[in-house]
Structure formats: C-alpha cells, structure tokens
Amino acid sequence: MSIPVLIVGGGPVGLTASLLLSRLGIRSLLVERHPGTAIHPKARGINARTMEIFHQQGVETAVREAGLPPTRTGFIVWAKTLAGEEIERRVPGSGSARLAEVTPVRACLCAQHHLEPVLRRSAEQQPLAELRFNTELTRFEQDERGVAASLTDTMTGRTEQVTAQYMIAADGAQSRVRKALGIGMQGEKDVYDSVNILLEADLSPWIRDRPAALYFIENEELRGTFLTINAHDSWGFLVNSLSSQGYTAEDFTPEKSADLIRKAAGVPGLPVKVLGVAPWVASAHVAERYRDGCVFLAGDAAHEMPPTGGFGMNTGIQDVHNLCWKLAAVLQGRAAPALLGTYHDERQPLGRAITEQSLINAISMGRLQKTRQTTSARPEYLNEQGMIFGASYSSAAVLPDGSPPPVIANPVTDYAPSGRPGGRAPHVWVKTGDGARTSSIDLVGNGFVLMTGRGGAAWVDATRELDVTPITLGAGAYETADSGWRETYGIEESGAVLVRPDGHVGWRSATLAGDPARALGGALNAIHGWSN
C-alpha cells in the first residue's frame, strides 16, 4: 500500500491532522495501537485559538455539544475544602469580556475522552482519510523518496508493509518514532510527579453557585485540584508534587484515593466511586528538531509541558494546522519541498517558549513546592491572551515588510492585534451584502486569502491567475462593520494583506504596488519556497 501521508497516533493531534489533510485534498492513513479513542479525560481545555481552527474546519458545534457550556465553567476557585471555606474565586482571562474583542469564538471545556470521538467521526466521514485502530507502527525506515513502514495488527499479529511520502509522528510524549530517529529533548525532565484520579461523585451541592473549570483545594493536610468533567458527578482529582506532600504513587489505591477525595470535598460520608488512578510525571522539554527527512514530530512527541495553562493539546493541534497545508502544497506541486523546512522554524521556537511558560505557571501555582506562593499573586495563565493569540512566525514562509513588532508590555498576558507578517490575521467584524455580520475569522483558514480595501481593485485582478481568494472589505460583497479594520491590519485603502491557509499573515503591502501582479505573484512564490 502506498499513501501520501502516514499519521502515527490517534489522539487529538493525529485525528486533527487526518481531518485537515482530507479537507486539503490529501489522502492519509492514521494508525493507532490502542483499540479506540481515549478512555480517560486527560486534557480538557480547548483554547479560543484552537476553537477557531475547529470552527474553520466545521467541527466547532460538535465539539461544543460534547463539552460544557461556559456558564458551567466560568470561574477558577480556591477553597480549603469544597464544602468548607472558600479562599478566592476568579474569572480566567480566556473567559473575560475582553476576549470578545479579539475573537468571536470562545474557548471550550471538553475532556479529551469526549473530544476524540468527535474528531474521529469527522475524520472518518472524509473520503480521503483511512483510520486504523489496533494497528501499531513496528518498524520504519526512510530515504529521499519517503518512508517504508511495517504496520502490525495488534489483534491478529498480521503485518503489512506501507510506503508514504511523508509521516507525521503524533505518538505522544514517549514517542517511539522520535526515539528511533535519535532526536533529543531540550529542557527539564521529570520536574514534578502527579496522580490523576478519575471518579464519580455527586458534588453538585457544593459547586452549583460557583461553576468552575478548576477547584483548587488547599489546607494544612492536602493540596489537590478537582477537575470539572460534566460539572455534576464525573470529575478528575489531581494531586501534584507527591513527594513534597508525603505521598508516593503506590499510596493511591482505590480505597485511599476515595478517602482523599472525601477529605478534599470536606464531606466525610460522600459516596465516591474511583474509576481509575493514573500516576504521571511532568516534564518541560522540547524536541531539538521537529523534522527528520520525511518525518515530522507533532504534539507531545515534539514537546512535553506541564499542564498548567492547558497549552499541551492546543499547541499540538496548532502544530498540525501549521504543517498540513505545507504538506498539501508540496504534494500537490504548488510549493517546493523547501517549504517543509519552515515547520520546524516556526513551531519549534514557539513550542519552546510555551513549554517554558508552562513551567513558570507550574511554579507560580506551587506545583514544585509544598504551598502555593500566594493567591494575591495572580498566575499569569489565568489571563493568557498573548500566549493564545500572539504567536508570530519568522521563517522563509513569512516575508517581512520592515515594520517593527507591536509594543507589548507582557507577551504572556497581552495581545495587540496586528496585520504584521508572521502574526495571526486579526479578527474584525465584516458586514455582508445582505446586512449580516461575520468575522474575518470566517474568511480565512482554508486556502490563501488576499484582503484589500476599496482602492485595491488591481490586487483583485492580480489574483485571477493565482490560487488566491480575493476579499475586498468596504465594497461589493463585504462591507466592513468595523471602520478601523485597515488600521488594525496596517494598510491603506489600496493596500493588501496575504493570509496563509493557517490564518497567519504571510505578506503585506501597505499601499498599491506599481505592478500588483508581479508583487503578489512573487510573494506567493517566495512563501511556497520557489526561487525568484
């Protein structure tokens, strides 16, 4: 069997890659050694940038239906026990009204074992995707032509040989592919130990008036966190830094775990059913390279980070959002193979920065020490717009225009919308001809888009021989409902902005060029890696 792209790993990252490639017109085969999707909640928070991607790929509604509405997860709460004294409650930055100025798409709390079936169903509905569970990558080798892989059915033991032009390794933190390639990790390994307890208990009497995503429990005997799954009787309970609290992983038998839950709840007779206990160790390190020949690392295979801030799964999904359009462009002959080198150039520095910040978040929350520093020192990840929307790429697939980056006091918490090349194309409201209102987020994310003003008719003419969708804001089908959109994007009425398929600005011309067709064609060729 021969396939353009082999995807190893059927978690959220691999499933998203399958969906993206199908929508881009690329056949793929996904293999996952487990029999099905996740059975534990694992990651839960889907940030607004990832939800924008799901929105653009047509799965946002299904994801939201599988998760919880914002009204049931609006706070972060600190308490001595769930039924006892409350220390503090806050509204996280991602849930604040200020977020509505940045994006029309809200974050979502959807536990991974609820998210993965949604993504799987969507991927399986695509005619170009094949998904095989109970299938393990047992061996592979590569040369300049691609990857030759041995796939083994874990039920029957039957092995099949498959060739692929490219392979995406989304096989988790213990990635066998990464280890086979000899790719090292940079950063800190095993920074703290933890246990996740999956449980059933009716906690609704103590959370009904303060629906939250997280309930941090802090008292003299215990530090732990209730993780909301269905906001009623399905919960996770997380205990970090076991050794600093006098625990070992072996202490967490189902009986002792249930007793611990009762203490954290402050309800001695609480009926608790422990469904699973999963010890794990947090690390904060990143692969030294995201690419080896025809193989690309994504998700936890490329970066393992503490969960504080909820960036791990989101970063992985955004990895493949960056990678898949590039693979499609090369496979379809629209781009030179050199474009694929920009995946590492763009995502590895960002992965490193996010991993480092996640470790700082963990320290600020006391994950590496016995007591949290103070509730008055607000953890930055509760207000993380800069981390969510502020990624700005620097690579051969981004053409600088000489403009300085926005002045930002704190790149973790602050985000300044800008059309400067490299950054996410900002959200602005647009009024369509029938008077309806839509976001610019709806206009990008599935191919190259050229945005121009009323004076940009020559730019629109220049797209006729190119694989670029022109959009004129302020005239024709799209009237602008936001008169400041040009200021946000940094262009005049005759200027133009070229947005890549991943929603990042690749090129910008503040005014009309002398030869628009040459300027735009040259920009597109350069982004695609063709020599000028």
What pLDDT score does 320 carry? 98
DSSP 475: B
Residues 13 and 127 in one domain: yes
The position carrying tokens 């005997």 is: 221
Residues 325 and 449 in one domain: no
96 inside domain? no
83 inside domain? no
C-alpha angle 356-89-46 in degrees, rounded to nearest 5: 45
Phi-psi region for residue 422, left (φ > 0), alpha (ψ -120 to 50) or beta?
left
Domain count across the chain: 2
164 inside domain? yes
β partners of residue 160: 151
124 inside domain? yes
Beta-strand pair 159-169/295-297: parallel
Neighbours of 205 (CB within 10 A): 10
What pLDDT score does 240 carry? 84
Q: Which of 187, 522, 235, 174 is nearest to 351 (CA)?
A: 187
The SS3 call for residue 490 is coil
Beta-strand pair 28-32/129-133: parallel
8 Å CB contact between 452 and 470 = yes
What pLDDT score does 379 carry? 52
pTM, to two decimals: 0.93
8 Å CB contact between 122 and 59 = yes
Distance CA 89, CA 87 (A): 7
Structure tokens belonging to residue 304 = 């393992």
Residues 448 and 326 in one domain: no
Length of the chain, in residues: 532
Q: Is the dihedral of CA 256, 258, 264, 268 positive or negative?
A: negative
Structure tokens belonging to residue 158 = 């039957």
Helical pair 312-331 and 341-364, crossing angle rounded to 10 deg: 180
Position 518 pLDDT exceeds 70:
yes
Residues 430 and 294 in one domain: no
Task: For residue 42, give the CATH number of its domain.
Answer: 3.50.50.60
262 inside domain? no
Of 268 and 377, which is predicted with more confidence? 268
Beta-strand pair 28-32/2-8: parallel
What pLDDT score does 41 carry? 85
The position carrying tokens 């059309």 is: 419
Alpha helices in 332-377 (DSSP H): 341-364
Grade residue 475 by pLDDT with cuts at 50, 70 and 90. Answer: confident
| Boundary-marking domain end, from 379, 398, 416 | 379
What is the extent of the structural domain holding 481?
A: 424-527
Beta-strand pair 146-153/303-304: unpaired
Distance CA 188, CA 487 (A): 42
Task: For residue 476, give the CATH number of its domain.
Answer: 3.40.30.120
198 inside domain? no
8 Å CB contact between 49 and 86 = no
Distances (CA, A) of 321 to 19, 20, 57, 265, 358: 10, 7, 11, 40, 21
What pLDDT score does 366 carry? 66
Average pLDDT, the chain: 91
Residues 495 and 346 in one domain: no
The SS3 call for residue 1 is coil
Residues 450 and 307 in one domain: no
| Boundary-marking domain end, from 354, 379, 404 | 379
451 inside domain? yes
Residues 322 and 465 in one domain: no
Residues 356 and 473 in one domain: no
Residues 362 and 441 in one domain: no
Distances (CA, A) of 111 to 44, 174, 511: 4, 21, 46
| Boundary-marking domain end, from 324, 355, 379 | 379
For the stretch 131-169, pLDDT in tens is: 999 999 999 999 999 999 999 999 999 999 999 999 999
Q: Residue 242 half-sphere exposure, CB side, CA atoms within 13 Å?
A: 17
Encoded amino acid at 66, one letter = A
Residues 368 and 431 in one domain: no
The position carrying tokens 């839509």 is: 438
445 inside domain? yes
Residues 438 and 372 in one domain: no
What is the mean predicted confidence (pLDDT) over 437-447?
92
Residues 311 and 452 in one domain: no
For the stretch 352-404, pLDDT in tens is: 999 999 898 888 766 665 444 434 344 545 567 899 999 999 999 999 999 99
C-alpha angle 133-138-288 in degrees, rounded to nearest 5: 100
